[in-house]
Chain A
Amino acid sequence: MDVAVGLPELVAEEVRESRPARRWDVFLQPNFLLPALVLVVLVTCALFAGQVAPYDPLQTSLTARLQPPAFAGGTSAHLLGTDKLGRDVLSRIIWGARVSLSVSLLVILITATIGTTLGIVGGYLGGFMDALLMRITDVSLAFPGILIALLLAVTMGPSFTTVVLAVSLLGWAPYARLIRGEVLKLRNADFVLQARIIGCSPLRIMATHIFPNVVNPLLILSTISVGLVILVESALSYLGAGIPPPTATWGSMVSDGRGLIDTAWWISFFPGMAIGMVVLAGNYLGDWLRDRLDPRLRQI
């Protein structure tokens, strides 16, 4: 790249070389290890649900309805109990991981792409375009996205596509705002001005000179978004506007147990714990990443 950006990396390299033993320490902190472990379990469950889950998540069994978890008077056949149709709660949670993970990865891919493009274009070009984009961003940030998602669920009917579209529709705004702020700091940096002097087109400057310098904040926000997207997706499923049954999703499992809370608490309890743990892991990993890559970004 060039001197302005290369310098801090050089300094950091020297510090690391003087203390070689500490190089891997950052990965041994519980702040990294615990959330990383949770996310590895999540990804494994999502990828190998068929091999990991003890039962078919859709297989009903009238003789094994509302079985309590193994540690609360149930049998070891169903570790986390069964629901009112006799489906194994643990197996459904494992299959539900696939929904949560695929929705959040797709949404983050879409929102990060749109948000980053708009942020770079607005921040670098400035002027009327920028003012308009920021106005739209402000409105998108202030609007409760769940209403737009519910509206889409009504008109398009609940499906995987609807959920991804609904969460993405306003979800790009935080990316646009963050990236624009970063670009404003970069647009008059020496290396950008030099690129302009030697005749680079605005498109080239934005793509090859500015973009690589906003990758860190982009990575941090994307990691933090994993939890947020999973929360929104599960809320939509809970409200009946998510991926329709019989597919096992964590939100709809909590919803299934709502009416049976006085007799079978485990149906709601465990999927909710799964959501909470994954969101917590995503948030912690995001914080850890931010402290490593860009401590200035405390506010996100």
Chain B
Amino acid sequence: MGRQLVIRLLQSILSLLGMSLLIFVLVRLSGDPVDLMRTSTTTEADLANIRAQWGLDKSYPEQYWTFVSGIVRGDLGTSLIQRRPVTTMIGEALPNSLSLAGLAFVIGIGLAVVLGVLAATNRDSWLDNGVKFLAILGQALPGFWVGIVAIYVFSVYWHLLPTSGVGDPSHYVLPVLTLAFFLMPGMMRLVRSSMLDVLGSEYVKLARIKGLPEQTVIWKHALRNALIAPLTAAGAIFASLITGAVILETVFAWPGVGRLMVTAVSGRDFPVVQGITLMVAVVVLAVNLLVDITYAYVDPRIRL
């Protein structure tokens, strides 16, 4: 397994290089990124200065090398608008995003597993149909809209919860639950179908024949194996967690990385957008590597 681990690690590093190249090309797709800074008061000399300062007067391979070696040193450039290092800005916003996404992840996935198992064990019941309906809604309704409707119902109409921003724990309720609602459907469907497969298997029959209580059979024997298949989708679920966080942080004025990114887009602050995209690329690849290793560990039949 050691050799395969090394190969898999090398593949991830290659993928990261590919991602960085893609980002590098996309940023330069429109030509000169410094053009974005042109205002009525800038002169050509100013722009040339900035170009020299950022090394944009060098050849593309040289620029790419500077870009990549900067990433390795943890240097993601400087914001055009705030004139501060991008890493500092991400560092300030990251805890907010992590608490929002972390809570939503625990609640969303926890609910998805419980509801998925209940739907599978009570097939075609009202519960199963209700769960299916919830999944269909979660996959069809736009997240930003559900967030706004939730604000209208719980904050404007019933005055129960704050509309947006951070503060006391009540500020967490709406953003966390909305994000959890969007994380749930995919996982729920996977757990349900995987659980149905496992429930028909020989060892579940054996556990029942042994006379084990049905609850033990379902939650201990069956669920453990039923969770292996959905693990392959963990990467995709992680991607949708990030997408959801970007959108809902904007809806709820949550000062996280996602909102930082969206604000940077409207100000055309490309170093910030580029830095966040890169950071997410690193995290995504690391998570996927981790998922693959976990997968090989929990299911020894799988090779990396």
Contacts and interface: CB of A to CB of B under 8 A. Distances in A.
Interface in B254-304: 261-262, 264-266, 268-270, 273-274, 276-277, 280-281, 284-285, 287-288
A261 interface: yes
Interface stretch (A14-22, A79-87, A227-235): A227-235
Contacts of B30: 155-157
Contacts of A254: 142, 144-145, 148
Interface in A228-275: 231, 234-235, 238-241, 251, 254-255, 257-258, 261-262, 265, 268-269, 271-272, 275
A238 B235 contact: no
B55 interface: no
A231 B142 contact: yes
Interface in A198-243: 227, 231, 234-235, 238-241
Contact of B288 (A142, A241, A269, A279): A142
Contacts of A251: 142, 144
A238 B262 CA distance: 10
A135 interface: yes
Given A154-B264, A235-B247, A276 B236 contact: no
Nearest to B241: A144
Contacts of B246: 144, 146-147, 150, 239
B239 interface: yes
A238 B148 CA distance: 12
Q: Which of B18, B146, B156, B261 has the most CB of A within 10 A?
A: B261
Contacts of B285: 139, 142
A48 interface: no
A276 B142 contact: yes
Interface residue range, chain B = 35 or more
A154 B268 contact: yes
B280 A147 contact: yes
Q: What is the interface of chain B mostly: helix, strand, loop, or mixed?
A: helix
Contacts of A146: 242-243, 246-247
Interface of A: 135-136, 138-139, 141-148, 150-157, 227, 231, 234-235, 238-241, 251, 254-255, 257-258, 261-262, 265, 268-269, 271-272, 275-276, 279-280, 283, 298
Given A151-B273, A154-B269, A155-B26, 17 more contacts: A135-B14, A142-B238, A143-B239, A146-B246, A151-B27, A151-B270, A154-B265, A231-B142, A235-B142, A235-B247, A258-B148, A261-B151, A262-B156, A271-B145, A272-B144, A279-B141, A280-B136
Interface of B: 11, 14-15, 18-19, 22-23, 26-30, 33, 36, 136, 139-146, 148-149, 151-152, 156, 163, 193, 235-236, 238-240, 242-243, 246-247, 250-251, 261-262, 264-266, 268-270, 273-274, 276-277, 280-281, 284-285, 287-288
